[in-house]
Amino acid sequence: MPLYEYVCKDCRKRFEALVYGSQAAQCPLCHGSNLDQQISVFSVGSAHSVAACTPEACPSAGGCCAGDACKLYS
């Protein structure tokens, strides 16, 4: 079950979706299916590099807090 990133072409919402088999993703905001699949970007940390997740370092569309986790700061 891969995790894909999308941008809805109708409302421009950026989101991630777990896609099972032949299931199609749907925008969580407008429920549209006119989507652009994005290239997922990820990072790997090490013991020498530690990043703090703060509201300033965490844009609402993702960042270190993975999107919805940023609601912890609202």
- pLDDT tens for 13-60 read 999 998 888 888 999 999 999 999 987 666 555 555 445 555 555 555
Question: Helix H segments across the chain?
Answer: none
Rg (the chain; Cα; Å): 14
pLDDT computed for residue 41 by the predictor = 64
Let me know how long the chain is.
74
Q: Which has more confidence, 10 or 55?
A: 10
- C-alpha 32/C-alpha 72 separation (Å) is 27
Coil vs helix vs strand at 47: coil
User: Half-sphere exposure of residue 12, counting CA atoms within 13 Å on the CB side?
Assistant: 0
Contact 22, 37 (CB under 8 A): no
